[in-house]
């Protein structure tokens, strides 16, 4: 009531008078104001939460232009630029750490090498940190000729620097440089009718930096043990240190492998396309969310084939 | 209660107009490949089929008055695509011989393991008296197995364009 009176009061003077005339209600008003301001701050705390995982799963046989909601989100957020990502990873592992390269799945994949200086990875949540994101997509596309479509698709992937990683009947999985992910997805609606589309982005920044940090720590520990090993004289000490070095080395290899895998998945997005010659089977009547309009329920392929 | 003569005549004309509109038979010009199986003025429908089981079904339905073509297009897409799982291959505007605008959907769907294609043309015939009468939705459906569909597609489309 007091709040209502205050809001309706024509001037601050009248409002002040209302407060002085109702001292008990002042306390309640203050409590209410504090309470509501608390709610507001809670809401604003939640608002800027970074989205660690985004996905789009859409059944969309129309919209031949492709793109859609996810394409917009991709453009507005961190676009998949492999070159930029490599720079980010280089920053994260201490500048020169990407000098070593391994070959995985036929592609050149940057590998985090042992840093000479202790790395100081940035906090994943700090505003300046760029995100490391793995993009994957699953499409079902109806085409006139599946073999021809697969050949065309794979040829275009290879032209963009990607490669085919798996093919099973009319389903093909390809890896494309992250920078070409959008371009490749935009190409699919031109090849046929999109029956379904699922695109996911997984933010692995925290995971990557965490593994990197643990790797740095393990490397430093191993270096210290190596120094101790040189000074050790007792056989018992030597055996214990060597056992610890072996354990650490195994851990280091596992972490390197994890970093290598993440680097590969970040640098090369995965697209799986199921090419189909015919449209899928119609949803059974009892599973359909039917229209409320009678005439719409009375038309359709099922009706013309059964009630004709 | 006194009702002026002019108003009585007007009411009678309205009823007569609507009654005549309801009695009008639906028709479509189809080539001789199609055999007209049923022409039902009462039910306002026409069925025709070819020897290779391509089917044409022209009907008029009652629908709540006031909704225009974009509304029905959206409602149809929701039902055919989202609910039933049809794949829309083409979607475009059409006109009949009177210049009335409609929408044509060309879909594909598999039923019982057999891929079919399905064309649906929709025209809205709004009532002049929405307080008393429903709108009329005229539909032309053409369905056939995928391999047969293209054979008669042009003839059916020509028939739709020539409809009055």
Between chains, do B84 and A279 touch, taking CB under 8 Å as contact?
no
Neighboring chain A residues of B87 at a CB cutoff of 8 Å: 61, 142, 193, 195, 279-280
Closest CA to A135 of A86, A196, A182: A182
**Which residue of chain B is at minimal alpha-carbon distance from A287?**
B83
Residue A93 three-state SS = coil
Report CA-CA distances (Å) from A84 to A284, B16, B25, B107. 48, 75, 68, 43
Residue A66 contacts B, CB cutoff 8 Å: no
Mapping DSSP onto H, E and C, the string for chain B reads CCCCHHHHHHHHHHHHHHHHHHHCCCCCCCCCCCEEEEEECCCCEEEEECCCCCEEEEEEEEECCCCCHHHHHHHHHHHHHHHCCCEEEEEEEEECCCCCEEEEEEEEEEECCEEEEEEEEEEEECCCCCCCCCEEEEEEEEEEEHHHHHHHHHHHHHHHHCCC
pLDDT higher at A76 or B18: B18
Residue A178 three-state SS = helix
pLDDT computed for residue A53 by the predictor: 38
Neighboring chain B residues of A276 at a CB cutoff of 8 Å: none
Q: Is it the case that residue B160 has pLDDT exceeding 80?
A: yes
pLDDT computed for residue A276 by the predictor: 92
Task: Find the CB nearest B83 among A280, A289, A298.
Answer: A289
Closest CA to A302 of A292, B137, A286: A286
CA A242 to CA A222: how far, in whole Å?
A: 10
pLDDT computed for residue B7 by the predictor: 62
Neighboring chain A residues of B54 at a CB cutoff of 8 Å: none
Between chains, do A279 and B108 touch, taking CB under 8 Å as contact?
yes
Give strand pairing partners of B111. B114
**If phi over 0 gives left and psi between -120 and 50 gives alpha, with beta otherwise, what is residue A161?**
left
Residue A62 three-state SS = coil
Residue A281 contacts B, CB cutoff 8 Å: yes
Q: Which helix (H) or strand (E) holds A84?
A: helix A82-92
Task: Find the CB nearest A305 among B77, B108, B143.
Answer: B143
On the 0-12 / 13-18 / 19+ scale of CB atoms within 10 A, A273 is buried
Other CB atoms closer than 10 Å to residue A263's CB: what's the count?
Answer: 24
What confidence tier does B5 reach under pLDDT thresholds 50, 70, 90?
low
CA B105 to CA B116: how far, in whole Å?
A: 14
Q: Is it the case that residue B105 has pLDDT exceeding 50?
A: yes
CA A81 to CA A83: how far, in whole Å?
A: 5
Q: Is it the case that residue B69 has pLDDT exceeding 50?
A: yes
Residue A196 contacts B, CB cutoff 8 Å: no
Query: Token pair for residue B2?
Result: 């006194």
CA A21 to CA A19: how far, in whole Å?
A: 5
- Restricting to A residues 176-195, those with a Cβ less than 8 Å away from any Cβ of B are 193, 195
| CB B126 within 8 Å of CB B114 | no
Residue B120: partners with Cβ closer than 8 Å, 6 or more residues away: A299, A300, B76, B80, B104, B105, B107, B139, B140, B141, B142
* Residues B8-25, mean pLDDT to the nearest whole number: 53
Residue A79 three-state SS = coil
Q: Which helix (H) or strand (E) holds A200?
A: strand A193-203
Nearest CA distance, B78 vs chain A (angstrom): 8
Q: What is the pLDDT along chain A (308 residues), one digit of tens a residue?
A: 333 443 443 444 444 444 444 444 444 444 444 444 444 443 333 333 333 334 445 444 433 333 333 333 333 333 443 333 333 333 333 333 333 333 333 333 333 333 333 333 344 445 556 889 999 999 999 998 999 999 999 999 999 999 999 999 899 999 999 999 999 999 999 999 898 899 999 999 999 999 999 999 999 999 999 999 999 999 999 999 999 999 999 999 999 999 999 999 999 999 999 999 888 888 877 677 789 999 999 999 999 998 88
pLDDT tens track for B124-152:
999 888 888 999 999 999 999 999 999 99
| CB B80 within 8 Å of CB B91 | no
Task: Find the CB nearest B86 among A278, A282, A294.
Answer: A282
Report CA-CA distances (Å) from A296 to A171, A278, B34, B104, B125. 35, 24, 25, 14, 15
pLDDT tens track for B70-90:
999 999 999 999 899 999 999
Between chains, do B87 and A195 touch, taking CB under 8 Å as contact?
yes
Single pTM value for the model: 0.57
Neighboring chain A residues of B108 at a CB cutoff of 8 Å: 142, 278-279
Query: Token pair for residue B48?
Result: 């025709």
Nearest CA distance, A147 vs chain B (angstrom): 19
CA A276 to CA A279: how far, in whole Å?
A: 7
Tokens 């009468």 belong to B133
Between chains, do A305 and B86 touch, taking CB under 8 Å as contact?
no
Q: Which helix (H) or strand (E) holds A109?
A: strand A107-110
| CB A98 within 8 Å of CB A259 | no
CA atoms within 13 A on the CB side of B48: 22
What count of CB pairs under 8 Å joins A to B? 104
Neighboring chain A residues of B85 at a CB cutoff of 8 Å: 59, 280-283
pLDDT computed for residue A279 by the predictor: 86
Task: Find the CB nearest A293 among B63, B83, B110.
Answer: B63
pLDDT computed for residue A17 by the predictor: 43
Q: Which helix (H) or strand (E) holds A274?
A: strand A268-276
Residue A304 contacts B, CB cutoff 8 Å: yes
Q: At what angle do helices A235-267 and A205-231 cross, to 10 degrees?
A: 160
Neighboring chain B residues of A281 at a CB cutoff of 8 Å: 85, 109-111, 113
């Amino acid at each position: 009531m007091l709040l209502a009176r205050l809001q309706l009061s024509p001037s601050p003077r009248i409002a002040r008078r209302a407060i002085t005339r109702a001292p008990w209600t002042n306390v309640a008003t203050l409590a209410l104001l504090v309470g509501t301001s608390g709610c507001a701050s809670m809401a604003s705390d939640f608002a800027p939460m970074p989205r660690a995982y985004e996905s789009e799963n859409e059944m969309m046989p129309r919209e031949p232009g492709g793109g859609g909601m996810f394409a917009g989100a991709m453009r507005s957020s961190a676009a998949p630029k492999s070159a930029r990502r490599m720079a980010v990873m280089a920053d994260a592992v201490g500048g020169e750490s990407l000098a070593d390269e391994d070959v995985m799945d036929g592609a050149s994949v940057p590998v985090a090498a042992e840093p000479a200086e202790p790395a100081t990875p940035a906090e994943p949540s700090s505003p300046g940190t760029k995100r490391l994101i793995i993009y994957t997509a699953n499409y079902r596309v109806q085409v006139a000729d599946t073999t021809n479509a697969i050949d065309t698709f794979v040829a275009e992937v290879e032209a963009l620097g990607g490669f085919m990683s798996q093919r099973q009947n009319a389903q093909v999985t390809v890896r494309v440089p992250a920078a070409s992910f959008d371009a490749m997805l935009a190409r699919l609606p031109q090849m046929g009718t999109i029956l379904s589309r699922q695109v996911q982005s997984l933010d692995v920044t925290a995971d990557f930096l965490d593994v990197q940090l643990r790797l740095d720590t393990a490397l430093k520990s191993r270096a210290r043990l190596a120094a101790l090993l040189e000074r050790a004289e007792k056989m018992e000490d030597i055996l214990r240190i060597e056992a610890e070095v072996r354990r650490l080395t195994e851990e280091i290899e596992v972490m390197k492998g994890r970093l290598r895998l993440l680097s590969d998945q970040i640098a090369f997005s995965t697209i799986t396309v199921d090419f189909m010659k015919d449209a899928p089977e119609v949803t059974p009547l009892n599973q359909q969310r039917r229209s409320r309009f009678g005439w719409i329920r009375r038309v359709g392929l099922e009706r013309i084939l059964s009630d004709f | 209660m006194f009702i002026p003569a002019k108003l009585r005549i007007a009411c009678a004309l309205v009823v007569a107009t609507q009654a005549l509109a309801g009695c009008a038979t639906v028709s479509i010009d189809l080539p001789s490949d199609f055999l007209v199986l049923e022409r039902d003025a009462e039910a306002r429908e026409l069925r025709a089929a070819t020897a290779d089981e391509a089917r044409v079904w022209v009907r008029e339905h009652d629908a709540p008055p006031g909704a225009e073509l974009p509304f029905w297009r959206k409602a149809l897409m929701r039902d055919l695509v989202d609910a039933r799982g049809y794949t829309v291959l083409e979607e475009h505007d059409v006109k009949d011989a009177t210049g009335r605008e409609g929408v044509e959907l060309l879909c594909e769907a598999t039923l019982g393991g057999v891929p079919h294609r399905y064309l649906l043309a929709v025209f809205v015939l709004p009532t002049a008296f929405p307080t008393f009468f429903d709108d009329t939705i005229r539909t032309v459906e053409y369905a056939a197995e995928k391999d047969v569909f293209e054979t008669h597609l042009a003839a059916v489309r020509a028939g739709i364009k020539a409809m009055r």
